[in-house]
Structure 1
Amino acid sequence: MIEVSHVKKYFGNFKAVDDISFKIPTGQIVGLLGPNGAGKTTTMRMITGFWKMTEGTITIDGENILDDIVKAKSKIGYMSENAPLYSDMIVEDYLKYLCQIHGQDENTKILWLCTTCGLRQVMSKTISELSRGYKQRVGLAHALINDPEILILDEPTSGLDPNQIEEVRTLIKQIGKTRTVIVSTHILQEVESICDRVIIINAGKIVADSPTAKLREQFSQKITINLIIAGCTFTEAKKVFSDVEEINAITKREGDFVLPVKKAVGLSLELNGTEEIRDKIFKLIVKNKWILYEMTTVKSSLEDIFHILTQKTSGENK
């Protein structure tokens, strides 16, 4: 378990991290999000022991990392966005080299890394010959060389194609079953795909800390119902739906739907609450003898929520 308690970090007079606290248990994958300069990179570097906090404490399994920084680092695996690899080495030789550095048994460890990270097909290849996806896998193997309890990944799928992204995400989810994993990324779809929980940092402060599935419920500010109706004009539909008190705004949808029927009209109903009103809308459509082709509910996306929570910037990244 990682516990960050009232941590602050100053660079001169600049406050990069401002009194943040959170706990991450074993077996949880957490997405650490924030705009450039928010303080997330600084936070990760303090957790890894690369930088010392100005105030506060960081503990791993109840032990302050500053009491024995070497021991603390031995429990952490870190993969940067551009993993620093020796490109002229063969993958198998590189893993052997890492095993020697970390005092690991080559026979058992390399077999485990090869299987866990999906490297079997490239073990005899030079790292410079590998695709971006396989280089990321080698970087992940490097981070796992000492079988760490905590894994910190900075933009793990940056620059990968869609197939490689899916493979790496599946790999992270598998590894995260038995470890604490922190994923720093700007790809919000990635957070929804692999993370159990989201922590959003802005201007050095935590502005959201929620299970991924509940983030929209907690911070969503807008719900819209999209309709495609035939048998009426937009003006006629707007007049009818304007009498529904739960509807805050009605707008016409242009060019975002295609139907093999003429004179269909699309419109969006923005609600001012969370009350279920689709039954009321359906009854109005039936009453007016219109034809309903589509009714879908759209909640605020994670991108919308991220924008709402991070509108204020924190300056240059540290």
Structure 2
Amino acid sequence: MIKINNLTKKFGSHVSLDSVTCEFNKNEAIALMGANGAGKTTLIRSILGYYHPDAGNVSINGLDPIKQRVEVLKEISFVPQLPPPIKLNIDELIQYISISAEVDKEKIKYYANEMKLDLNSNMNKSFFKLSGGMKQKLLIAISLAKKSNIIIYDEPTANLDPKARDDFYRLLKQNEEEKVLLFVTHRLEEVKDLVNRQIYMDMGKVVSDDKI
């Protein structure tokens, strides 16, 4: 599903990714770990087509995430560590997602309800003004409703209370088949019951890659 071949990305003289080669396949749930500056975020942004590589390439289901970015992003749901500063209210945001990404609005509402997020009483509130936990719950609901083949979560539980984390894990367990789940995390214990593969990065390289 995701093939990364000798991927190198530099920012000035700094090498953020140093000839990284790996594959992520369906039915894999991967914890991507490493210290700040290890290259994790650069790798994710390369998968999403944000960065042009200096060498090597990325392939998503046979597609180039830069040249065929629209098609690639249809295959991926991504929840960033820091929610984007969206100024739309919740109703407008759901309408936009429904039209632009062809996501069933009722599915978004269903998963939001499963995450104990009361959408009906907050439809006119700006996404930007929601609490961190509410933003995270809504983004998770959208990611699950999209029914993507590849779901990437960057520190997904950072703004969630313990009960919301349990709801998140339960919903992922129900939706993990035939997918790639990729968790960027500093806390393996939080996703250890979900993942079956663990990758450590350091100084732009994959230093260990183990099935668990």
> Which TM-score applies when normalising by structure 2?
0.86
Shift of 1:9: 0.8
Corresponding residue for 1:53? 53
1:147–1:26 CA distance, 2 compared to 1 (3 A): same
RMSD: 2.4
Structure 2 residue corresponding to 1:116, chosen from 108, 111, 115? 111
Instruction: Please give the secondary structure, in 2, of the residue aligned with 1:15.
Output: strand
1:85–1:193 CA distance, 2 compared to 1 (3 A): farther
Q: Structure 2: any 5+ residue segments left out of the alignment? A: none
Alpha-carbon distance in 2 for matches of 1:13, 1:136: 35
Alpha-carbon distance in 2 for matches of 1:174, 1:132: 25
Q: Does 1:25 align with 2:25?
A: yes
Alpha-carbon distance in 1 for matches of 2:193, 2:131: 23
Specify the structure having the higher radius of gyration (Cα).
1
Q: Percent identity?
A: 27
Alpha-carbon distance in 2 for matches of 1:198, 1:142: 26
Q: Structure 1: any 5+ residue segments left out of the alignment? A: 213-318
Q: Which runs of 4+ in 1 moved over 6 A?
A: none
The letter for the 2-side match of 1:122 is: D
Shift of 1:144: 4.7
Paired residues of 1:49 and 1:65 also in contact (CA < 8 A): yes
Corresponding residue for 2:203? 203
The letter for the 2-side match of 1:63 is: L
Paired residues of 1:114 and 1:120 also in contact (CA < 8 A): no
Q: Does 1:99 align with 2:98?
A: yes
Count of residues in correspondence between the two structures: 207
Alpha-carbon distance in 1 for matches of 2:198, 2:140: 22
1:63–1:134 CA distance, 2 compared to 1 (3 A): same
1:125-157, CA deviations, whole angstroms, 9 ceiling, x for partnerless residues?
235786543321211234456432211111100
Alpha-carbon distance in 2 for matches of 1:165, 1:151: 17
Higher relative contact order, structure no. (Cα contacts within 8 Å, ≥ 6 residues apart): 2
1:149-207, CA deviations, whole angstroms, 9 ceiling, x for partnerless residues?
21111110003222222222222333322321111011121231321111110111111
